[in-house]
Structure 1
Amino acid sequence: MSEHPTRRPAAATVEQELPAPPGAEMPERRGGLWADAWRELRRDPVFLIAGFVVLIFVTMAAFPGLFTRTDPRACQLSRSLTPPSWSHPFGFDLLGCDYYARVVYGARASIAIGILVMIGTVVVAVLLGSLAGYYRGPVDTIISRFTDVVFGLPFILGAIVLLATVDSRGILEVGLVLVALGWTTMTRLMRSSVLSVLNADHISAARVLGASDARILATHVLPNAIAPVLVYATIYVGIIIAAEATLSFLGVGLQLPAISWGLMISDAQYRIGQAPHLLLWPGLFLSLTVLSFILMGDALRDALDPKLR
């Protein structure tokens, strides 16, 4: 009589999903690049603190009335250079204007120039960098050589020369000059980023399916290539705010009756020993704003770079 081997159940070919035991943590779902970046940024204390400071200063620039009810141009010479007190914590300037109100209203011009120049620079850089990286050949050569020529111009020196020829220097005039001189670095970043994503499979598939160049650029290239530009744009806001203050300090930036931190620092340079508060407060606000934008950009770079995670 032959012995039949005991039949064993076949091994499962598909792993069954079992419910997680109570109290166990479920694995975190992964999303796209921007979803992962936002998840990392929400856990970054540096980004959160810098973002909070930026939010305060942007709100101050947009709605200064939320921070002070005092008219920054309501001045009395009898209060000239009065030091800080409990009722007026920032003191008064040379003309007897409340210095706290002027520092608050000074955020508007400084931050407005930073944001407007950043937007203008991003538009120029994305347009030229995308065309140069996508079409290459003669288009790339012409754009790249023109970029090299403008890049060779000293930024601050070039701005001084151009602004010295302008009779009225307001936010628009200063902003246009800074855009005209500051788009080169961002354009190079955009071109390099476009070149790095052109060989992706989904872009080749879009070409095979007959998608137009404009559609490929808008839906496939830009979303995957713009991250380095956005990182630099965040840092660039702080750079432009500092540049505006430098130009105003040198006397070729914004003109009175505008109120900006750069103009206030320029007025304070001759009275540092007599009234140090004239330099302290606008300098402190300017430094905090620039530092916050730079820290936000650094945190955004770390979150968008898979090699750093």
Structure 2
Amino acid sequence: MSETVLATPAAAPARRRDGLRGLLRKPLFVVSALITLLYLAMAAFPGLFTSVDPRACSLAFSGVGPSSGHPFGYDLQGCDYLANIIYGTRSSISIGLLVTVATFVLAAVFGGLAGYFGGLVDGVVSRTADIMFGLPFIVAAIVVLNMFPQRDVLSVSLVLIVLGWPGGMRYMRGSVLKVRNLEYVQAARVLGSGHTRVLLSHVMPNSLTPLIVLKTLEVGAVIAAEAALTFLGVGLQPPAISWGLQLSAAHSQWQAHPHLVIFPSIFLSLAVLAFVVLGDSLRDALDPKER
């Protein structure tokens, strides 16, 4: 009897609700969620966190360290560094969320079709993913990004989306393969439901949890990847403002002006860590095997 209950779709939402309620009792989840919300607010409304124009610069203050009224000091162009870091949050978070949402949709669609229909559909999708897996990520990103005359948030996001969807597709395909032969799916087919209805109403909703968890974990990885590519000189370009650009500009001046490296590094590391902990907590709550 217990196995039948576990195989029914009605039992899954109850387990998920219990797991999500348990998250509120975990300090790590609460702290990471608050930090994530802070970054999202900073990206959406940077003016709430600083009244200084990040592009109001004076070379007279070039490289000056932290001082009263300017706790992060100034960059090499004499711009207020705190304002630049706050406004840089928008680019990094925007790329992280845009790439994650787009790859989630692509992975869900292609993984769902490949896992449910199998055969030719599975062969085409899986072999395409294998080709993408065969490309070294950093090398491929560098080569493709160098083809763009001007690299902004959309162009960098597009490249990361094209290179980043196969991993999620594999997760979704495996999840669908497990669900498609369960009793309630077979019962829906017997009752006359077509492939579209079975896939959208029964298979997909009960296969998305592993992909949701994976993509939550990947937000931090995408933010770090954008910063790394920008640091290497193939990511975002001025007049964009981002943590990667700040680290790239400061890498040769860190001994003379250590604050230029310390502050964007702290913001970048904290953002990546917050999203990773958030995703890890969601995995524990939504995946019964982890509990």
CA distances 1:256-275 after superposition (whole Å, capped 9, x unpaired): 00000000000010110111
CA distance in 2, matches of 1:197, 1:65: 47
**C-alpha contact (below 8 Å) 2:66/2:73 kept by paired residues:** yes
1:199 corresponds in structure 2 to 181
The DSSP-based 3-state class of the residue aligned with 1:183 is helix
Equivalent residue in structure 1 for 2:156, among 163, 167, 174:
174
Percent identity of paired positions between Structure 1 and Structure 2? 52
CA distances 1:193-251 after superposition (whole Å, capped 9, x unpaired): 00011111111111111112111111111111000100010111100100000000000
Equivalent residue in structure 2 for 1:214, among 169, 180, 196:
196
Q: 2:283 corresponds to which letter in structure 1?
A: R
CA distances 1:267-306 after superposition (whole Å, capped 9, x unpaired): 0101101110000111100000001101111111111121
Unaligned runs of 5+ in 1: 1-29
CA distance in 1, matches of 2:194, 2:247: 52
The alpha-carbon deviation at position 31 of structure 1 amounts to 5.9
Equivalent residue in structure 2 for 1:152, among 106, 130, 134:
134
Alignment pair present for 1:269 and 2:260: no
1:163 corresponds in structure 2 to 145
CA distance in 2, matches of 1:148, 1:244: 23
1:65 corresponds in structure 2 to 47
Alignment pair present for 1:108 and 2:90: yes
Q: 1:250 corresponds to which letter in structure 2?
A: L
Q: TM-score, normalised by structure 1?
A: 0.89
**C-alpha contact (below 8 Å) 2:59/2:78 kept by paired residues:** yes
The alpha-carbon deviation at position 134 of structure 1 amounts to 0.1
Equivalent residue in structure 1 for 2:217, among 227, 235, 238:
235
Alignment pair present for 1:185 and 2:167: yes
What is the 5 A alignment of 1:1-309? Answer: 32-309=14-291
The DSSP-based 3-state class of the residue aligned with 2:203 is helix
From the CA coordinates, give the structure whose radius of gyration is larger: 1
CA RMSD of aligned residues (A): 1.1
CA distance in 2, matches of 1:237, 1:166: 24
CA distance in 1, matches of 2:253, 2:48: 30
CA distance in 2, matches of 1:225, 1:91: 49
CA distance in 1, matches of 2:19, 2:134: 35
After superposing the two structures, state which structure 1 stretch, 168-177 or 43-52, moved more: 43-52
Structure number with the higher helix fraction is 2
Q: 1:151 corresponds to which letter in structure 2?
A: F
CA distance in 1, matches of 2:224, 2:74: 24
After superposing the two structures, state which structure 1 stretch, 253-262 or 137-146, moved more: 137-146
The DSSP-based 3-state class of the residue aligned with 1:306 is coil
The alpha-carbon deviation at position 36 of structure 1 amounts to 1.8
The DSSP-based 3-state class of the residue aligned with 1:75 is coil
**C-alpha contact (below 8 Å) 2:87/2:241 kept by paired residues:** yes
The alpha-carbon deviation at position 143 of structure 1 amounts to 1.0
Unaligned runs of 5+ in 2: 1-11
The alpha-carbon deviation at position 95 of structure 1 amounts to 0.8
The alpha-carbon deviation at position 155 of structure 1 amounts to 1.0
Q: TM-score, normalised by structure 2?
A: 0.94
CA distance in 1, matches of 2:207, 2:90: 32
How many corresponding residue pairs? 280
